Amino acid sequence: MILRTIYTLCGIFVFLSCQESGNDLQKSEAIALDPPRQVILTWQQDPTQTMTITWRTDELMENHSLRYAYSPDARRRSWTSVKAESFTFDETKAWIHYVELTGLKPDREYYVIIDHPISPEEFHFRTLPSQSGKRDLVFLAGGDSRSRRDVRREINALAAEQFPDFVIFAGDFVNSAVNEKDWDEWFDDWHEQLITQDGRRIPIVPAIGNHEVIGYYRQTRENAPYFYNRFITPEPRNHYALELGSDLLVITLDSDHTMDVVEQTDWLETILEKYQDKRWKIVQYHVAAWPSVRGLNDEIPKKIRKYWVPLFEKYNINLVIEAHDHAYKRTVPIRDNQRDDENGIVYIGDGGWGAPIRDTKNAKDHWWLEEAFAADHFWKLTLSADGVNLKVEPVFRPPGRTFILEAEEVDNEIL
């Protein structure tokens, strides 16, 4: 705060000292009004050794860069400076800047200053541990944050209070795919709120939803410009796998928005075969295969159950995170299209991070639903330090309704 105040005073000084020169004055005003904002952390590669940092400005200046160091108190020459890649795209007024930091050490905090002559942006982040036994890994899962901003902000605040290592987010960030105001509000909120009290920013692992896409379903990448340009993840960005530490693989899929479900099947099997020995394997995508509100026999759920679910079962996926229906849901353990308490997979969802919440089917009358009801919520997942136990907790808004699902209820392999 002190640093920011000093810089603000410097800004006034710059303004006053330039009054005699119109061009210089305009330049100073542009700089003063255009600080780096909407910082987002994602991963393109190994989360134990890399971090991708993205931010926006209104104007393209001569140099956009950041500095990072092990410690906020590092001496000046200990900070490493990195120039950003900058670009824009047709549907935005913003300039996007990003840096991928590589060669980092696992499980360490790094301090960052995004350079700006008036208002540099300061924060820190933490790489993930590369070995089990170090500490619990805490991460959140949710989706559907789109249209009730006040609720979304309440849930954002609840999310940051969990001190998570990262958030996996199963799509439908905003209501309108190319409405810049919607996206600005979403990114402004995320920037302001998805940060711990001590200034640690929380990375996101995003999946695409229908509201990121003009036309919603079976469209091209060009129809989802904000998703593809603002979240820099492993190519092709709509389906990718990330090893999140030594014991966890998270696979993100595109449920028919910019790529057909069927077309991802071969890639999915290749990934699952490659990582078959990974202890915990979690999948996220947007449209629920086992919905709490919409029809079980709608086209996309049927496709997912036909093409993806047999692979989930063949390779013993531990947990699947779904969204799109805007309700709280937990399925029974499912295998071969029936309840299987011994070897079934549990699917949780169905999105409730601010979207209008919906009444659900009655779980008692629908065999695949263990429980389902209308509730704003996200999920908190805690992977124990020894990598053996995954605790899954729904966190509801308003707080106070939280309860804990014991790990046995979702673990079909380890315990």
Q: Does 154 sit near Fe ion (CB under 5 A)? A: no
Whose CA is closest to 210, among 259, 251, 283?
259
Q: Does 329 sit near Fe ion (CB under 5 A)? A: no
Bin 163: left if φ > 0, else alpha if -120 < ψ < 50, else beta.
left
Question: CB of 59: closest distance to Fe ion in angstroms?
Answer: 34
Question: CB of 410: closest distance to Fe ion in angstroms?
Answer: 24
Q: Segment 280-309, which members bind Fe ion (CB under 5 A)?
A: none
Q: Segment 195-214, which members bind Fe ion (CB under 5 A)?
A: 209-210
Question: CB of 187: closest distance to Fe ion in angstroms?
Answer: 19
Q: Segment 2-61, which members bind Fe ion (CB under 5 A)?
A: none
| Cα–Cα dist 331/339, whole Å | 9
Whose CA is closest to 11, among 116, 139, 160?
116
β-strand partners of 376: 397
Binding test (CB under 5 A) with Fe ion, winner from 121, 154, 172, 256 = 172
Binding segment for Fe ion among 14-22, 121-129, 166-174, 359-367 (CB under 5 A)? 166-174
Q: Does 223 sit near Fe ion (CB under 5 A)? A: no
Question: CB of 89: closest distance to Fe ion in angstroms?
Answer: 23
Number of residues that bind Fe ion (CB under 5 A): 4
Give the phi and the psi of residue 225 in degrees, each rounded to 5.
Answer: -65, -35
Q: Does 324 sit near Fe ion (CB under 5 A)? A: yes
Question: CB of 354: closest distance to Fe ion in angstroms?
Answer: 13
- State which residue, 200 or 324, has the beta carbon closest to Fe ion: 324
Question: CB of 209: closest distance to Fe ion in angstroms?
Answer: 5
Binding segment for Fe ion among 151-159, 170-178, 220-228, 391-399 (CB under 5 A)? 170-178
Write the CB contacts of 134 (distance below 8 Å, at least 6 apart in sequence).
107, 385
Q: Does 322 sit near Fe ion (CB under 5 A)? A: no
Q: Which residue is nearest to Fe ion (CB)?
A: 324
Which tokens sit at 81? Answer: 């400076």
Q: At which residue do the structure tokens 């998703």 appear?
A: 227
Question: CB of 281: closest distance to Fe ion in angstroms?
Answer: 24
Count Cβ atoms below 10 Å from residue 246 Cβ, excluding itself: 18
One-letter amino acid for residue 364 of the chain: K
β-strand partners of 392: 381, 405
Distances in whole angstroms, Cα of residue 212 to Cα of each of 123, 146, 206, 272: 28, 10, 11, 27
166-169 and 137-142 strand pairing: parallel
Angle at 95 between CA 90 and CA 101, to 5 degrees: 120
Half-sphere exposure of 280 (CA within 13 A, CB side): 27
- State which residue, 317 or 323, has the beta carbon closest to Fe ion: 323
Binding segment for Fe ion among 58-66, 294-302, 319-327, 368-376 (CB under 5 A)? 319-327
Binding segment for Fe ion among 56-64, 84-92, 107-115, 164-172 (CB under 5 A)? 164-172
- State which residue, 187 or 353, has the beta carbon closest to Fe ion: 353
Contact set with Fe ion (CB under 5 A): 172, 209-210, 324
